Structures are given as C-alpha cells and as structure tokens.
Structure 1
Amino acid sequence: MKVQKVRDLTLIDLDQEKTIVVACDSCGGIGMKEYDVLKVSPFVTGKYTARVALFEILCSGAEVVCLANTICNEMEVTGKKIIAGIEEELEEAGIGKIVLTGSTEENFATFATGFGVTAVGIVENKNLKVNNVKQDALLITIGKPKVGEEVLKSEKGGIAGYQLIKTLLGSERVYELVPVGSKGILYEANQLAENNNMQLVLHSGIQIDIHKSAGPSTVVVAAMEEALFYQMDLPGSIEVIGMLRHVKR
C-alpha cells in the first residue's frame, strides 16, 4: 500500500483505480466559553472548521465518505451547537449527514472551546486533481482572504463557494484547485508550483493580498488552461495572479 503526503493531504492507494484522500483541521479558543479569545457561537466554530477539511477533500476531486468530529467539550450545549454548524456546512456542500461521526468530552469540565475534524474521501485516479498540472497554466484566485471577524461580517460573494468549485472540477482544462488557509495565497501558489515541478510567474499589479491569511479557506487558487478562463464567465471575486510555467532545463 502506497501512502504519500501532498500539501495538507494524505493520499492512500486503495487499488489501481482509486485513492483515499484524508484531510483535517482544528480550532481552539473560538466559541462562547470563559477563556475563548474570539466570542462567537459554537455553531460558527463547527461550520467553518468543517469547511476547511471539506474544501481540501472536494478540491482534490474526491467524494467525501466520512467526516469525523472530535469535540473537546461537553455535548450539552457546546457539542450540539458545533454539530449543528457542521450539518449546515454539509448541506451547503450537498453532502448527506450520514457521513458524520464523532465524539465529545464528558469526563471533565472545559473552559475554552476546542474542536478538530478529519475528512476522508475516495476518488477515481483519473479524476484526482493533485499534482495534475502537465502544461503551462493560468493561476487565478477565487474569493478574498478573510479571517476571524472578517469572515463573520463578509457576504457569501467574497468567499469561495461549493457550487463554483464543483463547476471547475467538471472540466479537464482545470488542472488543480488548492484551498488557501492561514499561510496565504503566495505560500499555496509556491507549493503548487513546486509540487508540479513548475515555475511560478506572478503578474505585476496584483490587487489581492497574497500574504494575508485566508482563515477557513475563504480563497481557492485554481490552475487552469488560459484559454478556458477567458471563455468562462466566473461569478464572485476572481483575480488572475500569474502563471505556472515549465521549468527550463
């Protein structure tokens, strides 16, 4: 059995035709408990933490088959609110609640909110969009980098959404999709170039902040055929940031 690590993904060969894809995320100090730093409903904590792991799996081209939540708090009331947030995110992603499983902390009192999530997906190898850039590609960003209270105040139009991701995944001319988290757009673009043995060429005059944290994957970087981009009418906050080019030997 072959296991490999690519970015934040673990890829496990299931057989010659399919791959298991695993991703995870965690969140601490965000909730309504005494020592939480950012005071928001645990519902929000569950929703956006689940979003990170779901985006990682879906952007790889895989179908989510399990979402495990490890809640470091009691079921009543924190756990139930976190789970409700996860369930809403699954609904927005078009994924049934049947994939959801998890655990809570019932033995000890807790004074800050803690929560982790692990997502597991399965993909046919022909549909796997990981290290999949075989030719020069245009790099675009979908969404705007937001973190903390910015996410809570933002409109949906400023955050990468599931429907657009699914649309892009349906095209062979879209080579790879990478969710952006706390390390920012430039970091993920560099990782994309390195993993595909390509050179990153950034455009001048980029308007979007490529260094800022994108929190719960509010941005996705897409590598795609340049001609396709100009044929598509993509909604939302889209910006061209550069190219991936073959490294000349």
Structure 2
Amino acid sequence: MKIKKVRDLTLVDLDQDKTMVIACDSCGSIGLKDGDVLKVSPFITGKYAARVAILEVVCAGAEVICLTNTICNEMDPTGKAIIQGIEEELKEAGISEIVLTGSTEENFSTVMTGLGITAVGLVETKKLKVNNIKGEALLVALGQPKVGQEVLNTRQEEHVGYGTIKQLLQDEKVYEIIPVGSKGILYEMQELARNNRLHLTVYDHIGIDINKSAGPSTVVIAAVSANYFSKWNIAGTMVLLGKVSLEALASQ
C-alpha cells in the first residue's frame, strides 16, 4: 500500500484500480459562544467547514463515503446545530449514501466554538484528477474569493457550486480542479505548477484579488485545455488567470 500527500490531500493506493482520498478542515472561533470572534449560527459553522473537506475530495474526482465531525463543544445545543449544517451541505452536494460519524466534548464547558472535519472518498485511480496536467493548461478561477462575514453577505452564485464542479469533472480536458482556501488563488496556482513540474505564467490585469483568502472554498481553480476553454459553457463567475506549461523550464 502506497501513501502520499499532495497539497491538502492524502492519497492511499488501495490496489491497482482504487485510490482513497482523504481531506480535512478545521474551524475555530466561529459560532455563538462568548469567545467566538465571528458570531454566526453553529449551523453555518458546520455547513461551511464541511464544504471545504467535501470539495477537496470531490474535486479530486472521488466519491465521498465517510465524513467525521470532531466537535470541541457540547452536543446540545452547539453540536446538534453543527451536525444539521453538515447534513445540509451533504444534501447540497448530492451526497446521501455516506457514513457520518463524530464526537463531542461532554466533560468540560467551552467558551469558543471548535470543529474539525475529515472527508474520505474513493476513486478509480485512472479517473483521479491529481497531478494530471498534460504539458500545458489554462488556469481559470470559478467563483469569487470571500471570507468571514462576506460569505454570508454575498449572492450564492458568487460561490462556485457543486453542479459546476460535476460538469467540469465529466470532461477529460479538465485536468485538475483545485479548491482555494485561506492562502489565496496565487498560492494554489503556484502549488499546482510545482506539483505538476510546470512553469506558471500569471496574466496581467486579472481583475480578481489572487492573494485574498477564499474562506470556505468559495473559489476553485480549473486547469483546462485551450480547446476546452474555447468552447466554454460553464455558468457562474469565471476569470482567466494564466497558464502552466513546459515553457521556460529548460532554462531553469
């Protein structure tokens, strides 16, 4: 059994045909407790923390089979609300046949909301969309980077949706899909290029803040063939960021 880490993913080769994909996310100080900085319902906390881990697994081409929630608070009322939020996100993602398990803190009282999420998925190895770029690709951002209260104050269509992700996954000319987190678009583009051993070219005058946190993965980067992009038929906010290629590598 071979295990490796790529970006925020852990990949486990189960056999020649199947790969397990594992991703996680943590969330602290977001809730309704006295010590929380961002005051929102724990339902929202659970929903958006689950979104991050789910997107990581789904964007790799895998099917989520298990999701764990490690809640650092009491079950009632905080834990119950968090779990309801997780279940709502699973519903939005179209995931129903899944093991949902977790734990809560019942020994001590807490003054701040804390949550950890782990998602586990399975994929046919040949369909895994990780380090999969064929020499050159255009990089496209779908969604707008939002963090904190901005996530709640913006229209849903400004966040990339599961329907868009599923549409992209169906085309072999979409080589990789990378959820963007707190380190921003530029960081994820750099990691994508490094992991694929390609040169990154970032276009000028993009019109989007590529250094800003995208919070609960309100943005994904799609690495696509130029031919696919020329026939682009994806709904939602889209920005052409740049490209990755073999260009200039020989001189480095």
Measured against the shorter chain, the TM-score band is over 0.9
SS of 1:163 mapped into structure 2: helix
Deviates further, 94-103 or 206-215: 94-103
Structure 2 distance, partners of 1:65, 1:197, is 31
Query: For residue 176 of structure 2, what is the aligned residue in structure 1?
Result: 176
- Gap runs ≥5 in structure 1: none
Q: What is the Cα deviation at residue 230 of structure 1? A: 1.9
- Gap runs ≥5 in structure 2: none
Structure 1 distance, partners of 2:70, 2:45, is 13
Structure 2 distance, partners of 1:26, 1:36, is 14
Structure 2 distance, partners of 1:135, 1:55, is 25
Paired letter, 1:141: A
Query: For residue 164 of structure 2, what is the aligned residue in structure 1?
Result: 164
1:68 aligns with 2:100: no
**Where does structure 1 differ by over 2 angstroms across 4 or more consecutive aligned residues?**
none
Q: What is the Cα deviation at residue 203 of structure 1? A: 1.1
Query: For residue 185 of structure 1, what is the aligned residue in structure 2?
Result: 185
Query: For residue 123 of structure 1, what is the aligned residue in structure 2?
Result: 123
Query: For residue 135 of structure 2, what is the aligned residue in structure 1?
Result: 135
Q: What is the Cα deviation at residue 49 of structure 1? A: 0.2
Structure 2 distance, partners of 1:139, 1:114, is 34
Answer whether contact 2:70 2:116 (CA < 8 A) is retained: yes
**Identical-pair percentage:** 61
Paired letter, 1:93: A
Q: Where does 1:26-37 land on structure 2 (aligned, <5 Å)? A: 26-37=26-37
Answer whether contact 1:87 1:97 (CA < 8 A) is retained: no
SS of 2:145 mapped into structure 1: coil
Deviations 1:168-222 (A, max 9, x none): 0000000000000000000000000000011111111110100000000010000
Structure 2 distance, partners of 1:154, 1:162, is 17
Paired letter, 2:238: I
Q: What is the Cα deviation at residue 97 of structure 1? A: 6.0
TM-score, normalised by the number of residues in structure 1: 0.98
Answer whether contact 1:90 1:97 (CA < 8 A) is retained: no
Evaluate the alpha carbon distance shift between residue 138 and residue 129 of structure 1 in structure 2; reply closer, same or farther with a 3 A threshold. same
Alignment root-mean-square deviation, CA = 0.8
Q: What is the Cα deviation at residue 232 of structure 1? A: 2.1
Q: Where does 1:86-125 land on structure 2 (aligned, <5 Å)? A: 86-96=86-96, 98-125=98-125
Structure 2 distance, partners of 1:240, 1:58, is 22
Q: What is the Cα deviation at residue 99 of structure 1? A: 2.4
Query: For residue 8 of structure 2, what is the aligned residue in structure 1?
Result: 8
Paired letter, 1:65: I
SS of 1:240 mapped into structure 2: strand
Paired letter, 1:192: L
Query: For residue 58 of structure 1, what is the aligned residue in structure 2?
Result: 58
Q: How many residue pairs align between the two structures?
A: 249
SS of 1:232 mapped into structure 2: coil
Paired letter, 1:49: A
SS of 2:133 mapped into structure 1: coil
Answer whether contact 2:64 2:98 (CA < 8 A) is retained: no
Deviations 1:14-67 (A, max 9, x none): 001111110000001000001111100000000000000000000000000100
